[in-house]
Amino acid sequence: MSNSKLFPNGEITGLRLEAFGLILVLVAAIWQCFFTDWFARNNQEWIAYTQESVNISSLAAIGNLGEALVIDSQEQRAKWRDDIKSIVSKGVEDTIHEREKRNALKSRQEHSFGIARAILAFVGAGLVVCGKCFIVSHKASMLATIPE
């Protein structure tokens, strides 16, 4: 069965397929810009935020160490030591927590975003190619019906 019997006006069908395919390719490009690229940028900013938190905790602990060195009282030194331990422990816990959140988000969304973009692009490109095939087939059938 030829395309001309299934689709009486293959050229219009082909143009519609092409238009829909181009819209899907455009949606894939927009998806790339707003979702996939956003995630990559956000991930880098998140890493920088975590590093900043580590730096602040480290500097606070170093500052407290410097102050503890001039204290003569063992009780005061013990208090400072406990404060320093809690600052460092909280910094480590926060860093691990942020890393786990980032990795969980990355494992869930990065792959999904990439798959969605690829599907949109491939389906869109496939529709453009199918549309062109319909148009060429329609033109060929029209040329075949022209008497010589």
pLDDT tier, 115 (very low <50, low <70, confident <90, very high otherwise): confident
Domain presence at residue 1: no
Q: Which two tokens stand for residue 96?
A: 């691990």
- Convert the pLDDT of each residue in 39-69 to its tens digit: 777 777 878 888 888 888 888 888 877 777 7
- Convert the pLDDT of each residue in 124-133 to its tens digit: 999 899 888 8
Helix, strand or coil for residue 88? Answer: helix
Separation of alpha carbons 30 and 43, rounded Å: 19
Domain presence at residue 3: no
Give pLDDT, residue 23.
92
Name the domain count of the chain. 1
Judge whether residue 88 has pLDDT over 60.
yes
Q: Which two tokens stand for residue 106?
A: 């990355």
Stretch 105-120: mean pLDDT: 80
Separation of alpha carbons 104 and 108, rounded Å: 6
Domain presence at residue 75: yes
Q: Which two tokens stand for residue 76?
A: 């005061």
Domain presence at residue 5: no
Domain presence at residue 4: no
Domain presence at residue 130: yes
State the residue range of the domain holding 64.
Answer: 10-143
pTM for the complete prediction?
0.56
Domain presence at residue 107: yes
Domain presence at residue 148: no
